[in-house]
Amino acid sequence: MMTVELSGTDVPALQPRRELSLPESAETTLPNGLTVLAVRRRSVPLVELRLRIPLVEVDPAGAALLAESLCAATTSTSAVELTRRIQRMGGTLTAGVDADRLLVVGSALAAHLGDLLGILGEVLTGACYPEAEVAQRAARLAGMLRIVTAQPAHRALEALNRRLYGEHVYGRPSPSPEEVLSVTSEDLLALHADRVRATSACLVLVGDIDPDQALRAAGNALSGLAGGEVPRRHRPLADDRATEAIEVLDAPGAVQSSVRLALPCAGFGAPDLAAVDLANVIFGGIFSSRLASNIREHKGYTYSAKSTLVFPQAGAAIAVIADVATAVTAPAVLEIRYELGRMACTSVTTAEVDQAREYLFGVQRLGMATQSGLANLVSELAAHGLRLDWLTVHSERLAEAGVAEVNEAAARYLAPARAVTVVVGDAAKVTSRLTTLMPVV
């Protein structure tokens, strides 16, 4: 195979960055308290739907089974007929849940927006939970949980959240299969009546639609959803975090270790988020990052090492992920912490900042290029009380942030002393070497 070497002159120069152009949109709040955001994106004749309903401090087993069952059947339509109706409009309608919200995700041909909204309204106001079907879904979900919760990556994530968030709801583990199996049809009916409400919920519609007409269609279809009191909010996160030790979860005989670190950071709306974004990309957010260059390219400890920003509503964080061979677990943790320290204590370069900036601008535009990506973005921003115009502000901050701002953000948020660390691996083989770095629990 021939290998071609490219010189610097072979690489085309970057084109001038175009000003961010936001799509046409409209917004209203219905009398029942539901906020509706409609955005025109004409790329294909489809419409994407995202309905976010706050779901704070609920039983995780009941919430998980509610999401599994919500879009299955209503008091007037069987599960089979509901599926047929959705398929006839070229559509989908599903639900998911986490510690922040119940999220209904749907799509259909744009000409069937009214029909899709009608089905959504029917599901929200008339969902039924037949005992036999609830039992079947509970059994299926319990089986999935048995598989998922046994995976090292999932064990590491749950342990990391527990260390990072403590007694907060974010630190609670996933429901057990036994907890899911104990949820009854009556439990789901009560949870639905109590929490599936319009107040503080947000519906996002993105696609080949007229925004004003879409708002009217949403009002016609969803005005029957009950309002009620403002939903409860997350309690504040505790300031103290267990950062002084590595937690090791034993996986006897494992040939590799799942290494996870997390550091609290600025969230949506924070003035320094742009600088944090840039610092994260330089540290571990791209293939050529410092972290990947070190433990992948130079040391060969892992095929994949990365860091990413996560934005739960009560507290954002930088998550660091690496799966490494058992024999190099301690050296990998050492190098990760070294790169964090290098970010916090030494200066980034202008070239690194420029590369990170161009990458983030590209990701931003790719995220807005599809109807699905734009719908996800609008819904996520709305969850933090923001609208699409926030992107303009964030873009300006990305453009203006330089070496000094990135250094300041790195020193504030990427210092290794702020990181909580979890390792899932063969404890008999990794613990003794890890104790040379930090205490192990």
Q: Which two tokens stand for residue 284?
A: 């571990």
The 10s digit of each residue's pLDDT in 277-290 is 999 999 999 999 99
pLDDT of residue 370 exceeding 60, the answer is: yes
Calpha distance 128→192 (Å, rounded): 10
Encode burial over 202-230: b for 16+ CB neighbours within 10 A, e otherwise. bbbbbbbbebeebbebbbebbeebeeeee
Q: Say how far apart CA 99 and CA 169 lie, in whole Å.
A: 7
Secondary structure (3-state) at 367: helix
What is the C-alpha to C-alpha distance for residues 97 and 100, in angstroms, rounded to an integer? 8
- For residues 281-310, give the mean pLDDT: 94
Strand order in the sheet with 25-29: 25-29, 35-40, 202-207, 46-54, 101-109, 92-97
Q: End-to-end alpha-carbon separation of the chain, Å?
A: 50
Q: How far apart are CA 363 and CA 257, in angstroms?
A: 30
pLDDT at 2: 46
Could you read off the pLDDT of 179-194 as tens digits, one per residue? 999 999 999 999 999 9
Fold (CATH) for 246-434:
Cytochrome Bc1 Complex; Chain A, domain 1 (3.30.830)
What is residue 10's predicted lDDT score, i.e. its pLDDT?
Answer: 55
pLDDT of residue 67: 96
* Domain boundary assignment for the chain: 25-222, 246-434
pLDDT at 7: 53
**pLDDT mean across residues, the chain:** 92
Tally of CB atoms within 10 A around 353? 23
Give percent of the chain above pLDDT 90.
84
pTM of the model: 0.90
Work out the burial of residue 408: count CB atoms within 10 Å of its CB; fewer than 13 is exposed, 13-18 middle, 19 or more buried: middle
Chain centroid to CA 179: how far? 25
Q: Which residues contact 132 (CB under 8 A, 6 or more apart)?
A: none
- Categorize the per-residue pLDDT at 244 as very low, low, confident or very high, splitting at 50, 70 and 90: confident
What span, in angstroms and rounded, lies between the C-alpha atoms of 291 and 295? 6
The second-level CATH assignment, the architecture, of 25-222 is 2-Layer Sandwich (3.30)
Domain 25-222 and domain 246-434, same fold? Reply is yes
Q: Which residues pair with 33 in a beta bridge?
A: none
